[in-house]
Structure 1
Amino acid sequence: MLKKLCTAGLWLSLGMGCVPGVHADDGPGIVFYRYVDSRGVTVLDRQGVPPEYAGKGYEVLNQRGRVIQVVPPAPTADQAREAREAQAAAQAAKVQSDADAQLLHLYSSVSDVDRARTRKLAEIDALISVAHSNIQGLANQQASLQSQAADQERAGHPVPQGLIDQMSDLQDQQQNLKVDILRYQTNRQQADADFTQDRARLQQLLSQ
């Protein structure tokens, strides 16, 4: 069995020359793997390419000695990094292109952005106002219940558990509304920043 023959010896026995490139029409019969060893000698091997040489690239030849597959060398660390950076840049460009298309679809002028911003912030302000109003209403209810509890204590009676539960529930509702207000305020700041960014980007796109 032939194993690790040099290229020149094989071509002398086959009477053929090396044909570069991959030839899909040469048939599926794979016999040899061709690679360069540590001494710089070109080797042909039926068993495959040793791991220490596979990363340097190799060729696969069929039984007629034609190259049917070329495996390129593994990229260097710098090449791999450059490839990752190029891929990331291409992805970022695609994302920006899609965002620009969406922006142009939504707005035809900067004034459209301004009007949308005004509407959105007004909606959030209305939610904040309603939450504040609800907190005040709950606080009034709680004050009334606390007054009833004080009357019970002054009369020497224990405060009914139902009354205590109502006051606790009102306090929980107020706390939840305060959390909602903080969330609305955060959303308002983010919306304002988003509209500012959209406005600046639309100006750039419309001026191109």
Structure 2
Amino acid sequence: MRPTKLTTCLLAATCLLVTSLADARMYRYKDDNGQMVISNTVPQEASTRGYEILNSQGRVVDRVDPAPTEEELQQRAEEERRQQEAAEQRERDKALLRRYRHPDDAVRALHRKIDELEGLNQLKQGNISVIESQLDSEQSKAADLERSGRDIPESTLDKIDRLEQQIRELEAEINAQNREMEKIRESYVEDIERLEVITEQDRTLPLDPDAARESR
């Protein structure tokens, strides 16, 4: 028999209903009073506590975890920060080991750097001594002129001012370099101490270059 139009429509509707029932999803969650509820929707306030998704046979097919608490979020952020710091420390350690194989290698590098900077300071101090000698000469000439009642030439006064300014600038450079030297020393000491940890070897050389020279 040829199916009628009505029969065809009924069959289609039946198939659609069966498919809808097979695909039906229910949700199981706890309400505000802690009671278990099964529904075809999940209220917003209940969704944050987590829920289960059931199929048409009432079996659990998926679970949605509760939203993390503020404390849990802080713990996660703290753990991520620790992991990031650990990763950065590993990279710094790798770079350090590429430069030095033993803490004494870093100590020797520190000695060379300090010797270099101290040599520059000594050079500048020698320049100051030369300029101070020139300044004493110019100031003596100016004093002799004053005692004799004569005017001090403008060129002499300018030269005195210029020499004094040069001394101040060199002294400022020495002071700045001393501060930089201390920062460098602290940085090297930090590297040396870290090398002792990651290589499991202690330094055998003194940190002070003068003490190292005396021990030779």
TM range (shorter): 0.5 to 0.7
Among 18, 21, 25, the residue aligned to 1:18: 25
Is residue 145 of structure 2 the alignment partner of residue 145 of structure 1? no
Deviation at 1:106, TM superposition (A): 0.3
Q: How far apart are the structure 2 equivalents of 1:171 and 1:19? A: 91
Q: Classify 1:112/1:72 alpha carbon distance in 2 versus 1 (closer, same or farther; 3 Å).
A: same
Does residue 165 (structure 1) correspond to residue 158 (structure 2)? The answer is yes
1:60-101 alpha-carbon deviations (Å, 9 max, x no partner): xxxxxxxxxxx9876543233223322321221122111101
Matching residue's letter, 1:179: A
SS at match of 2:149: coil
Q: Which residue of 1 aligns with 2:194?
A: 201
Tell me: CA distance 1:110–1:17, structure 2 relative to 1, closer, same or farther (3 Å). same
Aligned to 1:192: 185
Aligned AA for 1:151? D
Q: Could you tell me which amino acid in structure 2 is paired with residue 17 of structure 1?
A: A
- The Cα shift of 1:125 comes to 1.0
The offset of 1:19, in angstroms, is 9.0
Counterpart of 1:155 (choices 139, 148, 151) is 148
Q: Displacement of 1:130 after TM fit?
A: 1.1
Once the two structures are aligned, what percentage of the paired residues are identical?
Answer: 27
Query: How high is the TM-score relative to the length of structure 1?
Result: 0.63
Which SS does the other structure have where 1:131 is aligned?
Answer: helix
Deviation at 1:176, TM superposition (A): 1.5
- Residue 142 of structure 1 aligns with an amino acid whose one-letter code is L
What amino acid does structure 2 have at the position aligned with 1:117?
A: L
Mark the CA change 1:157 to 1:44 in structure 2 (over 3 Å): closer, same or farther: same
Equivalent in the alignment of 2:76: 83
Counterpart amino acid of residue 121 in structure 2:
I
1:172–1:18 CA distance, 2 compared to 1 (3 A) = farther
Q: CA RMSD in A?
A: 3.7
Q: Write out aligned runs for 1:40-51 (5 A).
A: none
Q: 1:75 and 1:167, CA in 2 relative to 1: closer, same or farther beyond 3 A?
A: farther
Structure 1: 4+ residue segments shifted above 6 A: 36-42, 71-74
Cα distance change of structure 1 residues 166 and 79 upon mapping to structure 2, 3 Å threshold: farther
Question: What is the letter of the counterpart of residue 135 of structure 2?
Answer: Q
The answer on 1:114 being equivalent to 2:112 is no
CA distance in 2, matches of 1:149, 1:99: 60
Separation in 1, partners of 2:67, 2:160: 71
Distance 1:115 1:19, change over 3 A: farther
1:148–1:75 Cα change, 3 Å: farther
Deviation at 1:105?
0.2
Q: Unpaired runs of 5+ in structure 2?
A: 1-19, 51-63, 202-216
Question: Whole-Å Cα distance in 2 between the matches of residues 161 and 75 of structure 1?
Answer: 81
Matches within 5 A, 1:5-84: 15=21, 16-18=23-25, 56=48, 75-84=68-77
Cα separation, 1, equivalents of 2:77 and 2:40: 32
**Alpha-carbon distance in structure 2 between the residues aligned to 1:166 and 1:73:** 82
Cα distance in 2 between the residues matched to 1:144 and 1:44: 96
